[in-house]
Structures are given as C-alpha cells and as structure tokens.
Chain A
C-alpha cells in the first residue's frame, strides 16, 4: 500500500499569508495526486487533481506542484473562507489512500 503523509498536521496563519502544505507518498505516484478542502459538516471539495490541475471554479490563489513522492499545495494569499482542513489523496493504484489532513486555523 502507498501511504500518504501530510505536514504539518495543523497550521496557524493570518489573512493574506502565503501558506504551503506538504504531502509525501511512500513510493512514487507520478502526478496521481488530488487535494481537497473540507469544512465542518461538509463533503470534501476538490481543489486540485493530477498534482497541479486546478478544478474549474477554484480560485487561482490555490496551486499544486510536485511529482514522484513530494507534493505541495500553496495558497498564495489566505482569505477568511480558506480556514478549513486540507487532505491529499493518491489515485495511482488501489488502495487510494488519503493523508491524515492539515488543519488550517487562524
């Protein structure tokens, strides 16, 4: 199984900050990597797929990069609505495991 490890587990930031979240795969997954945002009581919302492709409608302040085993999600200028939990997930080969999440707090 491919394990996904996110860091940090939690992060405190302020509106306007640039924030980077890291996701590491236990083996190479090429660019088979999705990023999600989840707010309390809501389903995960897709932000990025294929490591760097922004889903239509997602603000351009979100970006993803990486390939192989190391990936990053960057929010260029935090907005109040961005405070949430973020997850990565690989879609390389079953089982399609998730990272443990990064809680982004004010």
Chain B
C-alpha cells in the first residue's frame, strides 16, 4: 500500500502571499490530520478532517484553513503568510479516527521570506 503523500515537498513564498498544501492519505483511510513543526514551538496540531468535515481544530489563527474532498484527499491553505509560518507541515492519516495510529507523510517544508 502506498503511504501518505504530500505535495509539494518544498516551497518558498514571500510575506503576504498565500499557499496551498496537498495531502493524499493511505488508500482507505478517511481521517486526515495536519500538524505544524517549528524549532520554537515543536509539533502542534492544526486540524483534523473526516468525511469532508472538520472535526477538531488546534489553536491557530483563521489564516490557517483546510478542506477535505470526497476521495479523502485534503488541502490546507495559509493566507497572508508571515515569517513565523515557516515550518514543516506534516499530514497524517488514519482509517477512521485520530484515535487510531496516525501515519505521516514526508511533509512540506515551507519557507517564508
């Protein structure tokens, strides 16, 4: 079975721009979670989607949003980028719920200049 895939792997943007990151879960997995990893804040939960609905959300500003499609693929969007948004963004999938083991993708490294 193919693992979680994320695109793009690397991204460079400038302040004020917006960015969309994509995540394709393991085939058959319907729960997708997003995490942000920075040297200062560590790994932090962004949000979780199941059946195209956001079920849980972390403590991030409204500039961070996401969605999930009927095929369980998910996208996250960050608008009006700030320097502090530079991070590794990790997507994880699990069959039905984040209570089950979550399997992570390789991540997208975002650099905001």
Partners in one complex: no
On A, residues with C-beta under 8 Å from B are: none
On B, residues with C-beta under 8 Å from A are: none
